[in-house]
Amino acid sequence: MHQYITYTRHTGALLASTAVISFLPGLAAAQTNHLCTAWNVERSIEVVTPGDDGALCQVVYRKPDEGVANQTLWRSNSSVEFCEDKAQALATRLSAAGFECTQGESPTQITPASTVAPVDEPVLTTNPQPQTAASTNTQVAQEAPLGGQLYQRAPSVSDTSWHMAGYADTTFIATSAQGETNAEFTSARFNPGFHFQYKDLVLLEAELEVSVDGDGETQVELEYTQADIFLHNNATLVVGKFLSPVGQFQERLHPTWINRLSNPPAGFGHDGVQPASELGAMLRGGVSVGSTIVTYAVAVGNGPRVSHEGGVSFEAVAGDDNSNKAVSGRIGFLPLPYLEVGASFLVGNVTGVEVTEEENADDHGGAEPPLIDDIGFAPSTANVSLWGADAAYTRGPWDVRVEYLNSTRDAIATAYEGSIGVGLLPKLEMESWYAQIAYRLSDITNNKTLQKFEPVVRYGEFSIAGLDDLAEEAAEKRFNVGINYWIAPSIVARGVAEWRDFPDRPADASSETRYILQLAYGF
């Protein structure tokens, strides 16, 4: 669900693409109407002529099932055709997302929404200013890029509001490797997200992950907890533990109902090369440049740590083992609403440790781990740098993505798994990339059942140089072929075939094949 929140809060502030709408009393006639339904969700798109404030026409978006006020998306002073084209384009977009849309007559009288949008264009701004007495019923209308869904915040008479979202999934995997087959249900997860907002000043949010481990024990982890302070229409200050802005997958795509396949690409999940989270502060936002949008995110935090294998762990930690703070960020460019390219970076330091967390007396024949003086090395500090690039094309039934990350850690003296005290590790280089194509069949068939299928293909690689043990454990080449069936816009059942090759393992353990069934539900 986090992508939905990303588009409506982070990417909303990040992409600077909202329209502040004040709803004033008035009557107008609707010329055309598109009614779109999916499961228990109903949406209405209406072309109103004449519009308010002297406009020739305007496009009104309604959510009758939610009981919220109407939302004006576009208006024109010169062309009814402009409004009709916009309404049809939005109906087509909802159809591609799984809605069933029909066109019919609208009510003869509706209450229109008066917008401050310029003629023939939606507004490009991010955070609405605090409401005034003359505008007490204010909403935000967003046109999210990358195929994100339209979202509006319901008006409230209270200064505070709260909302719960999230996702859940369960997964079954059959694995064939080394002549043996193993089949099991491997996960059952529930990830609730909580959002508390005070006026249009600050948003508090947090997400938990509740799961069952291999021993049947319930595990609870804090995915993120942060405060978003709306400084300006083009800037939001984020403090706390937040998902890393580096790259796209972790921040926008990792929830299973948003991810087009059952797991992250090789090297992009936990313990991969992509930073998962950070504890610190981040400034993010976006500006419109002509007809394009430029987004930015810059974060400062405690940074990565040395992992128990001697690699680099890019997970947020409460505490810093050196005085250096890591700086990371991403800049994105949207030349078109459905096309985004971005570049990311991270620089920081990691400090070696004397004894790993996993090391104990049993690892040394019952004796305590040796002191650093016995070996001759003391833990040292090494620089870590990361850079990456990504691109996404999400238009109509297409979802095409490619992402690349490259990380380097300089030579370091540290204890690590299997070492006797502190040892000297050489320079470590990690590289990961993937390319993915998904296509919804709704664009090529009128069959309501077939329209809900979406084939997906992904190939990715994760390579490691400098630590043989880590390379043997994690380096791989992975090819996935999957099929999604969208039961509803946020409920998906999928089947995936996955072929994994491990180039740094012995020949008899260098590959495996997995067949995966998964049900994911976003709410």
Percentage above 90 pLDDT, the chain: 54
Contact 30, 7 (CB under 8 A): no
Q: What is the 3-state secondary structure (H, E, C) of 476-515?
A: EEEEEEEEEEEEECCEEEEEEEEEEECCCCCHHHCEEEEE
Q: What is the DSSP letter of 8?
A: I
Number of CB atoms found within 10 A of residue 505's CB: 15
**CA 338: distance to chain centroid?**
16
Give me the DSSP letters along 20-33: EEE-----BEEEEE
Instruction: Specify the higher pLDDT residue, 419 or 45.
Output: 45
Distance CA 420, CA 371 (A): 9
Alpha-carbon dihedral angle through residues 154, 155, 161, 164, given to the nearest 10 degrees: -10
Phi and psi torsions of 510, nearest 5°: -95, 0
Distance CA 517, CA 230 (A): 41
Give the burial class of 412: count Cβ atoms within 10 A of its Cβ; 0-12 exposed, 13-18 middle, 19 or more buried: buried
Give the residue-averaged pLDDT of 19-26.
Answer: 34
pTM listed for this prediction: 0.70
Query: Mind listing the pLDDT tens digit for each residue in 384-424?
Result: 999 999 999 999 999 999 999 999 999 999 988 877 788 88
Identify the CA nearest to 250 among candidates 156, 320, 344.
344
Distance CA 189, CA 213 (A): 10
Query: Mind listing the pLDDT tens digit for each residue in 291-336?
Result: 899 999 999 999 999 988 888 999 998 888 888 899 999 999 999 9
Instruction: Specify the higher pLDDT residue, 77 or 220.
Output: 220
Residue 363, pLDDT above cutoff 70: no
pLDDT at 63: 84
Residue type for 376, please? G
Token readout for 487 is 């039961």
Number of CB atoms found within 10 A of residue 64's CB: 11
Range with top average pLDDT, 157-166, 211-220, 355-364, 391-400: 391-400
Query: At 190, is the pLDDT very low, low, confident or very high (cuts 50, 70, 90)?
Result: very high
SS3 state at 471: helix
Instruction: Specify the higher pLDDT residue, 53 or 184.
Output: 184
pLDDT at 37: 84
Query: Mind listing the pLDDT tens digit for each residue in 441-494?
Result: 998 999 999 999 999 999 999 999 999 989 999 999 999 999 999 999 999 999
Number of CB atoms found within 10 A of residue 426's CB: 13
Residue type for 197, please? Q
Phi and psi torsions of 253, nearest 5°: -120, -10
Instruction: Specify the higher pLDDT residue, 32 or 73.
Output: 73
In Å, the largest CA–CA distance within the chain is: 88
Residue 102, pLDDT above cutoff 60: yes
Across the chain, what does the average pLDDT equal?
82
Helix (H) or strand (E) holding 468: helix 468-474
Residue 262, pLDDT above cutoff 80: yes
pLDDT at 53: 73
SS3 state at 195: strand
242-263 burial, b at 16+ Cβ within 10 Å, e below that, comes to: bbbbbbbbbbbbbbbbbbbbbb
Distance CA 158, CA 161 (A): 7
Residues 6+ apart with CB under 8 A from 179: none
Distance CA 425, CA 410 (A): 9
Distance CA 59, CA 143 (A): 14
Residue 51, pLDDT above cutoff 90: no
**Conformation bin of residue 471: beta by default, left when phi > 0, alpha when psi is -120 to 50:** alpha
Contact 254, 2 (CB under 8 A): yes
Distance CA 140, CA 20 (A): 5
Number of CB atoms found within 10 A of residue 40's CB: 7
Distance CA 152, CA 141 (A): 5
Token readout for 103 is 């066109």
SS3 state at 143: coil
What superfamily does domain 151-522 belong to in CATH?
Porin (2.40.160.10)
Parts of the chain belonging to CATH 2.40.160.10:
151-522
Residue 274, pLDDT above cutoff 90: yes
